[in-house]
Structure 1
Amino acid sequence: MNNPGLLREQKRERFFFIALTAPAIVLVGVSAMAPVLWILSQSFLTLTGEATLSNYEKILSSGLTWSALGVTLALSLCTLVTCVVLGVPLALALASARRRVANRVLILIMLPLWTSILVRTYGWLVLLRREGVINTTLASAGVIDEPLPLVYNFTGTLIGMVHYMLPLFVLPVYAAMRDIDGNVVRAAASLGAGFWRCVATIILPLSSSGIGSGSMIVFIYTLGFFITPAVLGGGKVNPIAIRIERTLSTFQDWGSASALGVLLLVLVLIAGAMFLAIRRLAGERVQHA
């Protein structure tokens, strides 16, 4: 039987914690939802304040919108794949290392996040441009005869985005791998499983929640990137965020810019829902296994 006194105490504690978090929830909710609702309303208004659907008709019938959408998805997917390829082995190495060594390496990994994204982006511009450090070093060593096109293109933009997002991907993956019971891995090794088999059948499935969380962070975050494509893309890489800025700065068309913002928001929501569904399916598969 349930203890009435214990139930009352649990309700009192629950109410206390709700009361503590309510002001922050209200503040964050209002500050987050108010701009979204304003943009949503602007997307259905003309310059004279009349209700219309022409803003959506304009952006959906424009080839520039679909081109920007394709560039946005390509950048996000390539950034995600690169972060997975680089981040999973790095997280595995950190999880296998001694705690003190892992903590020191994590500090080095997190250092870029303590610097302004604008400073870091211009730093990559100095490194990647035709007369930059990388091309100058390669030319001096006789490796190349002409400077490599490393900036003002898709490649340079991708490098800058991976540099920013890799630490954010590594952290949840490292946390998930660190929580894996070492006895499970040692038991598999004692039964004859090699290193790669342990990684494929034990470590990766048990750390799938961290990989999924990191992947969702990387993909959704990069959908709205602006500074890195603007600086390293040199006007040749134009995702939706840059398309929105140019619609405002060039045409002062708040309706179309707001409609593009709503399109980007819908894209983020779809991506979030897909990642959550994939994580749920992966978690169920791990439990059944």
Structure 2
Amino acid sequence: MAAGFFQPEGRRLSKAAVTALMLPFFSVIALVFLWPLLSLLSLSVLEPEPTLAHYQRAIDNPVYARVLWRTLVIALWVSAVSLLLAFPVALLMARSEGPKLAFITACILLPFWSSVLVRTAAWSVLLQRKGLINEGMQGIGLTAEPLKLLYTQGAVVVAMVHVLMPFMVLPIYGALRNIPADYARAAAICGAPPWRGFLHVTLPLALPGVIGGFILVFLTALGYFITPSLLGSPKEMMISTLISQQIREHLDWPFAAALVGLLTLFVTAITLVFSRLFGFDRMLGGRK
């Protein structure tokens, strides 16, 4: 019977074996994700009666369109800044070995030992008017009085970059680690300076990891809640904060469900576009 789970060459699992192994995973996904999501989305079209009025309200009101646009802009900023900071770190990791690599990896993974709430609260302490950053700038003469750093879009972007940057570093590191060192040496032998070898050899080969990290951080940032809620102001409200407000303050579950539906459609469309352009295996740092 066990032989039926393997292909004739006896080395690879058959489709039946793969299905049996993946069935528990997909069952959990259906139970804890798909079913609650579908139940919530049903409220947007069935409460108080079958209607699309909640979606029409979300689309017609320019306030909600601005919130969605602001969410997109902040997610793009977070992804771009994370990429600029993460690539040098990933490159250093790929060129390091032994204790040096272990130390850098520990620094990247150390934030996972504390919750997002703790890290966000730490930023609120640093960015307040009498916080360490304002006092430091005043101490060295950069500013004459405290700046408003907290409850701004910049505070939200900085804190989200701090939280999400490891998700950018690891895919890029995986892609860079798979590039043979002989390629760079071959480029140098052919007369290419280091910067040209990097632009024409290393960067194109690392692009799958860059794409994977970017889309992972971008999609996560679109639905982020804790950091924008604690560090942002109503003027910098993101879609997740708006959804929470509709549920907790207005008790408007159908409209909140409509906002969730729009966000889900938006994220799904972006994912399909990236999948169409690059393929899921390349998005995750794999090879075609």
**TM-score (norm: length of structure 1):** 0.90
Contact 1:230–1:237 (CA<8 Å) still a contact in 2? no
Q: Which amino acid aligns with 1:106?
A: T
Displacement after TM superposition at 1:14 (Å): 4.4
Contact 2:246–2:252 (CA<8 Å) still a contact in 1? yes
Unaligned runs of 5+ residues in structure 1 are: none
Displacement after TM superposition at 1:12 (Å): 7.2
Matched residue of 1:159: which SS? Answer: helix
Which whole-Å CA distance do the structure 2 matches of 1:113 and 1:236 have between them?
30
Displacement after TM superposition at 1:148 (Å): 2.2
Which whole-Å CA distance do the structure 1 matches of 2:13 and 2:72 have between them?
47
Aligned residues: 280
Which whole-Å CA distance do the structure 2 matches of 1:105 and 1:115 have between them?
18
Which whole-Å CA distance do the structure 1 matches of 2:243 and 2:17 have between them?
44
Which whole-Å CA distance do the structure 1 matches of 2:206 and 2:236 have between them?
34
Q: Which residue of 2 aligns with 1:38?
A: 39
Query: In the alignment, does 2:22 pair up with 1:60?
Result: no
Alpha-carbon displacement from aligned partner over 1:127-176 (angstroms, at most 9, x marks no partner): 11111011111212222111122210100000010001111100010111
Report the identity percentage. Answer: 32
Which whole-Å CA distance do the structure 1 matches of 2:13 and 2:184 have between them?
44
Q: Which residues in structure 2 correspond to 1:23-102 (within 5 Å)?
A: 23-46=24-47, 49-102=48-101
Q: Which residue of 1 aligns with 2:19?
A: 18
Which whole-Å CA distance do the structure 2 matches of 1:210 and 1:12 have between them?
27
Q: Which amino acid aligns with 2:95?
A: S
Q: Which amino acid aligns with 1:235?
A: P
Displacement after TM superposition at 1:30 (Å): 2.6
**TM-score (norm: length of structure 2):** 0.90
Displacement after TM superposition at 1:10 (Å): 6.8
Q: Which residue of 1 aligns with 2:139?
A: 140
Displacement after TM superposition at 1:251 (Å): 1.9
Q: Which residue of 1 aligns with 2:130?
A: 131
Alpha-carbon displacement from aligned partner over 1:101-140 (angstroms, at most 9, x marks no partner): 1221111111112211011001000011111011111212
Change in 2 beyond 3 A, CA 1:184/1:9: closer
Which whole-Å CA distance do the structure 2 matches of 1:84 and 1:275 have between them?
17
Computed over aligned residues only, the root mean square deviation of the Cα atoms, in angstroms, reads 2.4
Change in 2 beyond 3 A, CA 1:231/1:11: closer
Unaligned runs of 5+ residues in structure 2 are: none
Change in 2 beyond 3 A, CA 1:185/1:255: same
Change in 2 beyond 3 A, CA 1:142/1:10: closer
Matched residue of 1:207: which SS? Answer: helix
Q: Report the more deviating stretch, 145-154 or 162-171.
A: 145-154
Which whole-Å CA distance do the structure 1 matches of 2:13 and 2:66 have between them?
55
